[in-house]
Amino acid sequence: MNDAERNQIRLILVDLVDCGKIDVKARNKALFQEHAAKGLLRSGATIKRGQREMEQRASEFVADTVHHVKSVDMSLEAFALIAEALERFKNVLGAEFDEVIRIADGPVDPAKQESAVRRAALKLWREGIQRIDRQLQLHRFTFTRPSQSDLAALGIGSSMPAPALPTASQPLQRPGKGGRPPAEFWDNLWSHIAASLYGGELIPKSQADIERAMASWVERHGHSAAPSTIRSRARRLWDLIADPEA
């Protein structure tokens, strides 16, 4: 992995962590509103639902990071960067799940023993995290290229031939389905969505309407983007439409 690839991977991972943080906060907000309306907010149902939401989002994060990073590099070093990003994202999820517990069980009282509800919730959390860690480790075996440090330890360095650059007869390939689109891609997509909203062609009644419009544009123009990437960006727009003062 060279410096450019390393920096690209780090930027990808920072973006995915940031998008994931926004998404999970929105999921919690929706959960609290739904359970408050049903009279279930202070209940084990809120904790169980919250844990499922967190684990699902963590699973999506693993799949997205592996997919995007593989398109850049498949070395052991790249996998290590993914693992570091997952640890950061688990910290984000942990803080959000603690908020779920606080809402469902009440704030922690240092003068009292930890409640049975909190103990059960934390047990669910640990079990979910173990499943996510196993999911990531399953991908470990697909990152087969040694890192530069591994090569150095083996006494293999710059004498290795550099990979051949694409020629006119070997054009650069378009990223596969779900590949991370460049900034210009998103600029063009957002311009189309803005024009559709202004012209009245797009009158969304839910976030799903925006997601479908975005996915349709992506497909029509021969691009690709992971569903979770579209979803997180559509959620930002829908939140502003639903609550302009937020």
Residue 160 lies in a domain: no
Number of domains in the chain: 2
Residue 170 lies in a domain: no
25 φ, ψ to 5°?
-65, -40
Q: Are residues 187 and 124 in the same domain?
A: no
Q: Are residues 22 and 118 in the same domain?
A: yes
Segment 77-112, tens digit of pLDDT: 899 999 999 999 999 999 999 999 999 887 766 667
Residue 163 lies in a domain: no
Residue 166 lies in a domain: no
pTM of the predicted protein model: 0.59
Closest CA to 20 of 232, 227, 207, 183: 232
Predicted pLDDT at 145: 66
**Could you please report the per-residue DSSP string of 8-70?**
HHHHHHHHHHHHHHHHHHHHHHHHHHHHHHHT-SSSHHHHHHHHHHHHHHHHHHHHHHHHHHH
Q: Are residues 20 and 142 in the same domain?
A: yes
Q: Are residues 100 and 7 in the same domain?
A: yes
Residue 164: CA count within 13 A, CB half-sphere: 6
Predicted pLDDT at 152: 55
Segment 145-167, tens digit of pLDDT: 655 555 555 454 444 444 444 44
Note whether 56 and 22 are within 8 A (CB). no
Residue 156 lies in a domain: no
User: In 3-state terms, what secondary structure has residue 224?
Assistant: coil
Distance CA 74, CA 76 (A): 7
Over range 180-208, report the average pLDDT.
76
Closest CA to 70 of 84, 86, 85, 82: 82
Q: Is 201 exposed, middle or buried (0-12, 13-18, 19+ CB in 10 A)?
A: exposed
Q: Are residues 130 and 189 in the same domain?
A: no
Residue 113 lies in a domain: yes
Q: Are residues 131 and 187 in the same domain?
A: no
Predicted pLDDT at 193: 83
Residue 158 lies in a domain: no
**Is pLDDT of 128 > 80?**
yes
Predicted pLDDT at 158: 42
Q: Are residues 135 and 207 in the same domain?
A: no
Over range 111-134, report the average pLDDT.
86
Return mean pLDDT, the chain: 80
Predicted pLDDT at 235: 86
User: Could you say which of 132, 148, 164 is where a domain stops?
Assistant: 148
Residue 225 lies in a domain: yes
Note whether 46 and 100 are within 8 A (CB). yes
Q: Are residues 235 and 127 in the same domain?
A: no
Closest CA to 108 of 117, 48, 57: 117
Segment 10-66, tens digit of pLDDT: 999 999 999 999 999 999 999 999 999 999 888 889 999 999 999 999 999 999 999
DSSP 145: B
Q: Are residues 96 and 214 in the same domain?
A: no
Over range 185-212, report the average pLDDT.
82
Predicted pLDDT at 233: 85
Q: Residue 197: which domain range? A: 183-242
Q: Are residues 142 and 47 in the same domain?
A: yes
User: Could you say which of 148, 171, 201 is where a domain stops?
Assistant: 148
User: Could you say which of 104, 132, 148 is where a domain stops?
Assistant: 148
Closest CA to 25 of 53, 52, 63, 60: 53
Q: Are residues 33 and 86 in the same domain?
A: yes
Cα-Cα end-to-end distance for the chain: 42
